[in-house]
Amino acid sequence: PSYWGALKQRSLKADILLSLFLSIFLVKGVVNVLLTTPLWVVNTRLKLQGAKFRNEDIVPTNYKGIIDAFHQIIRDEGISALWNGTFPSLLLVFNPAIQFMFYEGLKRQLLKKRMKLSSLDVFIIGAVAKAIATTLTYPMQTVQSILRFGRHRLNPENRTLGSLRNILYLLHQRVRRFGILGLYKGLEAKLLQTVLTAALMFLVYEKLTAATFTVMGLKRAHTH
């Protein structure tokens, strides 16, 4: 009985630790988005400056540098344009939560069949969970990039896109022009970038969690 009590206590502590971790991560993500979006907007525009686009709705830009980009954006589009793409960025904060949800679900399914997961098991389910989360949220990343660039025309009056109210419009336009796969252009590169990193992170996470509860959880349970 003491063994099962210790096991349940360990599982409860793990769930509490995971919930706390996700809460902190989400708050940190929201603050990070609000503070860094202006830098990402300028960064995206400077990187795409001079590129040739087949889409005639895109307005060309001419910035001399970071300071000039900030100045022109505020002057021509208003200071709120520096936060173009904020809404999809905030939605993308939930990517880790989706990732952890699938990871825990896959892990529990495997634990029904075996007593303990190997390092390879953890690596694989971590990679699968990240791949699922990235695939589900990738359309938002596509829209995020479009909104950060910002220089699109919505109508003959040449009004430019706002971040929140036109997100569905952008998704619709993307699907209409390129089909549903248009929402996933560049997904392969994104998966290569994130999946391996996430798999390694989960492997380290499991090792650290096991070590922590070995030192603090089980020893404490044995003392009662």
pLDDT of residue 4: 47
Mean pLDDT of all residues belonging to the chain? 77
Cα–Cα distances in angstroms (integers) from residue 199 to residues 15, 73, 162, in the given order: 20, 39, 36
What pLDDT does residue 145 have? 78
What are the extents of the domains in the chain?
1-185
Whole-Å CA distances, 74 to 41, 43, 71, 121 = 12, 15, 5, 50
For the chain, give the percent of residues with pLDDT over 70.
Answer: 73
DSSP state of 155: S
pLDDT value, residue 17: 64
Q: What angle do CA 155, 180, 139 make, to 5 degrees?
A: 75
Q: Please give the pLDDT value at position 125.
A: 92
More confident residue, 64 or 219: 64
- pLDDT for the residue 221: 41
Q: What is the 3-state secondary structure (H, E, C) of 88-135?
A: HHHHHCCHHHHHHHHHHHHHHHHHCCCCCCCHHHHHHHHHHHHHHHHH
| Residues 85/86/91/94 CA torsion (nearest 10 deg) | 120
Number of Cβ atoms within 10 Å of the Cβ of 122: 22
Reference 141, options 176, 171, 100; nearest CA is 171
Angle between helices 2-48 and 187-213 (to 10 degrees): 150
Angle at 194 between CA 193 and CA 195, to 5 degrees: 110
| Residue 151: count of CB within 10 angstroms of its CB | 20
For 122-163, the pLDDT digits (tens) are 899 999 999 999 999 998 888 887 777 765 554 434 344 444
From the candidate CATH numbers 2.60.40.10, 1.10.150.20, 1.50.40.10, 3.10.580.10, the one assigned to the domain spanning 1-185: 1.50.40.10
Contact 128, 106 (CB under 8 A): yes
- For the segment 36-62, the average pLDDT, to the nearest whole number, is 75
Q: Which residues pair with 58 in a beta bridge?
A: 152
pLDDT at 160: 44
Task: Give tens-digit pLDDT for 69-119.
Answer: 899 889 888 888 888 778 888 888 888 888 888 988 898 888 888 878 888
* More confidently predicted of 206 and 138: 138
Helix (H, G, I), strand (E, B) or coil at 221: helix
